[in-house]
Structure 1
Amino acid sequence: MMNRLTTALCAALWLSVAAAHATVRTETGLAESKPAASETYRLNVPTEKDISTTEVRLIVPAGVTITRFQVMPGFTRTVKKNAAGLITEVIWKGRIGPMEYARFFFSARNPEAATTLSWKVYQTYSDGSVVAWDDSDAQQFPASKTTVK
């Protein structure tokens, strides 16, 4: 009986941790979109520690063209661009407290061809630690994916 209870509690804890990570979805919550479509995406970032998140860095997948951002009160935003003037990285600085989450909205145009977009997100905490949601450990820290088909 105790082993089943322990197993059930561990499974519940694992599911809650697995579900609580930085994700990019369409505005309607989908992980799928169409080639060449203009889409509003939302980056959802929960704070998973007992300290605040202070920075969120998003690496824009190749072929995605970001066209605009929704204002996020309490955050400053900087972008990095490539030689062609396309946004390759976005950094938001601000505060997401413990047991809180933030959603960052942006408009973008998808690549012309079907593909899988891998959104790499780096979450910095007030103690300087960084959680890399970039598939460096796909089991524990998966990058968010969008299927373009």
Structure 2
Amino acid sequence: MKNLIRTFALVTALLLPVAAAHATVLTETGLAESKVAASETYRLNVPTEKAVATTQVRLVIPAGVAVTRFQVMPGFTRTVETNADGLVTEVTWRGRIAPMEYARFFFQARNPEQAGTLSWKVYQTYADGSVVAWDDTDPDNTPASKTTVK
């Protein structure tokens, strides 16, 4: 029985980095929760999980979130799309994240006035033209990052 428990613990430990290795949005301090109507600094963490570089990262901003500014990311160009009210709805960074590397993109935003769950959709494009959609189209393999607003 002890050997079975040890084996299970070892397999779980080995698989944990794989399960956690995807594009995620967390607060600057690494939390997946924030407060209603709070001004928050968020970080989008994007690891390259293939043998080719990541060349583009597109983030869809959840409804009710008001992005106010971005941290400069050397080596990347940034474009934003806005709606009729001037609110940022999408941001795209173009640059290069080599295999076995990751990048963090920081931005400031004001949270929605109501409690709920924010679903951050991220589309990661690789140098070979493939796109990984971290948007819950396949929640078991490519989950969207979530933030609980209370």
TM-score with structure 1 length normalisation?
0.93
Structure 1 residue 18, shift from structure 2 partner: 1.0
5+ residue gaps, structure 1, are none
Matched ranges for 1:1-149 at <5 A? 11-149=12-150
Which whole-Å CA distance do the structure 2 matches of 1:130 and 1:13 have between them? Answer: 26
Q: Deviations over 1:58-79 (max 9, x none)?
A: 0000000000000000000000
125 and 6 in structure 1: CA distance in 2 versus 1, 3 angstrom threshold = farther
Residue type of the alignment partner of 1:136: T
5+ residue gaps, structure 2, are none
TM-score with structure 2 length normalisation?
0.92
Work out the percentage of aligned pairs sharing the same amino acid: 77
Residue type of the alignment partner of 1:51: V
SS of the aligned residue for 1:89 comes to strand
Residue type of the alignment partner of 1:116: T
Which whole-Å CA distance do the structure 2 matches of 1:65 and 1:42 have between them? Answer: 15
SS of the aligned residue for 1:124 comes to strand
